[in-house]
């Protein structure tokens, strides 16, 4: 038991590693907020394409369905690894010049956009058809009906599940260390590898708990 406490809860190692871990955790928080903003926009675009019913949008609708199914099936860690290392190696135009931080945002947006799109779609489809019929009877176009009548109600209904997805996103920012971003996880790993003590990871876990539990209570 003494060895267990020394490995995970050494006060000396905790004090030495915590400032560095907190500095890295700021990167995780920054990434979370930037990725959340991108996910909200990208998820809404996907949801609107997914909800289209006209013949003209049928190809886009099926492409969107395929995208959502694909990125919900692939682990986020794998997407981060493939985007972070694959895009620079493949020399993808424009994207290959992005920083590792920007590529991490892209990877998280690709993954969580698929989840959030389904949350949005559930909210859109929960609005009774009579709302749309009433708006159209008043002369609103399909686009204005969606913008001014359906979406305001749908978004309010899906706030709790959206927050749940963002809790998951906040925790998954710990994966970005695998592509070389010097975040909290990577800094904790460097300290642990140098000092052969895991108290730095305990400090990182505490940082995530301090952020995640209030978000969970709000949800």
Backbone φ and ψ for 53, nearest 5 degrees, come out as -125, -5
What would the pLDDT profile of 124-138 be if each residue is shown by its tens digit? 888 888 877 887 887
Predicted local confidence at residue 143, as pLDDT: 76
Q: Enter the tokens of residue 143.
A: 């686009």
Is this model's pTM higher than 0.95 or not? Answer: no
Q: How many CA atoms lie within 13 A of 171 on its CB side?
A: 13
Predicted local confidence at residue 64, as pLDDT: 93
Q: Enter the tokens of residue 104.
A: 């991490």
CA-wise closest residue to 108 among 88, 79, 87: 79
For the chain (219 residues), the mean pLDDT of every run of 10, in chain order, is 83 91 93 94 92 77 93 94 92 88 94 94 85 80 80 85 88 89 90 90 92 79
């Amino acid at each position: 038991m003494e060895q267990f406490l020394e490995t995970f809860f050494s006060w000396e190692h905790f004090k030495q590693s915590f400032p560095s871990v907190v500095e890295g955790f700021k990167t995780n928080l920054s990434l979370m907020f930037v990725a959340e903003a991108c996910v909200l926009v990208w998820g809404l675009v996907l949801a609107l394409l997914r909800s289209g019913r006209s013949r003209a949008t049928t190809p886009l609708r099926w492409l969107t369905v395929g995208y959502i199914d694909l990125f919900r099936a692939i682990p986020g860690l794998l997407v981060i690894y493939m985007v972070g290392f694959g895009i620079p190696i493949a020399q993808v135009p424009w994207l290959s010049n992005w920083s590792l931080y920007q590529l991490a945002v892209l990877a998280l947006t690709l993954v969580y956009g698929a989840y959030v799109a389904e949350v949005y779609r559930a909210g859109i489809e929960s609005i009774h058809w009579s709302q749309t019929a009433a708006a159209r009877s008043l002369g609103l176009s399909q686009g204005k009906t969606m913008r001014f009548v359906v979406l305001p109600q749908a978004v309010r209904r899906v706030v709790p599940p959206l927050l749940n997805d963002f809790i998951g996103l906040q925790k998954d920012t710990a994966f970005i260390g695998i592509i070389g971003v010097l975040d909290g996880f990577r800094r904790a790993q460097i300290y642990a590898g140098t000092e052969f003590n895991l108290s730095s990871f305990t400090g990182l876990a505490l940082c995530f708990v301090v952020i995640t539990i209030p978000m969970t209570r709000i949800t």
